[in-house]
Amino acid sequence: MKHALVVGGTGMLSEVSLWLISQGYHVSIIARNAERMDKLVKRAGTKHHVTPLLVDYTDGKKLQEKLKNTISKNGEIDLVVAWIHSYATEALSIIIDEVSNRKHRWQLFHILSSRSNTETIREHIAIPHFCTYYQVQLGFIIDDSCSRWLTNEEISSGVIEAIKKKENVATIGQVELREKRP
Ligand SMILES: NC(=O)c1ccc[n+]([C@@H]2O[C@H](COP(=O)([O-])OP(=O)(O)OC[C@H]3O[C@@H](n4cnc5c(N)ncnc54)[C@H](OP(=O)(O)O)[C@@H]3O)[C@@H](O)[C@H]2O)c1
């Protein structure tokens, strides 16, 4: 069975976690809050295809442990969708190291906020040979000349499209013009 990891998979990416299960993936999900995780697992309708990884991703040691456990139980990770707050400076590189340890081809979809500079981020991430790296940037929407942030539904469906299309950089909504941001 294919194995996906969704970092922050109980929040705005909930629908992405559920969609990946429907696409035949075993999905490991990182988040801290057990109640929100239980709700998502109930929505999935199966415990067999979901592995909750309840961990604070700022705790590097525990994050490593959880990743090692799920890889040994559920197999190599083929696809990672990562929404990681910028204060967790080490989390993404720990995930990359653990997932790529084993010379296995995999894809990383890195979800970035409107303010992120995609080029600078790409330059600063060490992408291993066996990983294909994609960026998905969250923007905003202009409706009837008013601007607003994306809804969770728009974010999840945009990420699902990005996974299907595999563009190097996908933008959900728009990131220009900065002065029109909500
Ligand atoms: N440009 C845009 O339009 C844009 C950009 C960003 C956000 N937003 C909006 O803003 C809302 C709030 O953003 P949000 O970042 O709170 O998104 P969120 O996706 O609702 O929540 C963050 C996710 O990451 C997990 N998480 C957070 N910190 C963690 C940690 N230290 N360790 C492990 N897991 C962690 C959360 O679970 P736990 O809390 O259980 O750990 C949750 O699953 C979103 O719902 C979205 O609609 C919009």
**Which ligand 1 atom minimizes the distance to the CA of 37?**
40
Angle between helices 60-74 and 91-100 (to 10 degrees): 30
Strands in the chain per DSSP E: 2-7, 25-31, 50-54, 79-82, 106-112, 131-138, 140-143, 146-149, 169-172
pLDDT classification of 29: cutoffs 50, 70, 90: very high
Query: How remote is the CA of residue 149 from the centroid of ligand 1, in Å?
Result: 14
pLDDT at res. 102: 62
Q: How much is the pTM?
A: 0.95
Strands in 13-104 per DSSP E: 25-31, 50-54, 79-82
49-60 pLDDT, tens digit per residue, is: 999 999 999 999
**Which ligand 1 atom minimizes the distance to the CA of 31?**
34
* 103 three-class SS: coil
pLDDT above 90 (res 179) = no
Map out the domains of the chain as residue ranges.
Answer: 2-180
Ligand 1 pocket (Cβ < 6 Å) reads: 8-13, 30-33, 36, 56-58, 83, 85, 88, 113-114, 138-140, 149-150, 152, 155
Query: How remote is the CA of residue 8 from the centroid of ligand 1, in Å?
Result: 6
Nearest CA, atom 18, ligand 1: 11
pLDDT above 80 (res 101) = no
Inter-residue contact 30 to 92 (CB < 8 Å): no
123-169 pLDDT, tens digit per residue, is: 999 999 999 999 999 999 988 778 899 999 999 999 999 999 999 99
Instruction: Compute the mean pLDDT over every residue in the chain, rounded to the nearest whole number.
Output: 95
**Which ligand 1 atom minimizes the distance to the CA of 87?**
31
**Tell me, which fold does domain 2-180 have in CATH?**
Rossmann fold (3.40.50)
- Omega cis (within 30) before 67: no
The one-letter amino acid code at 108 reads L
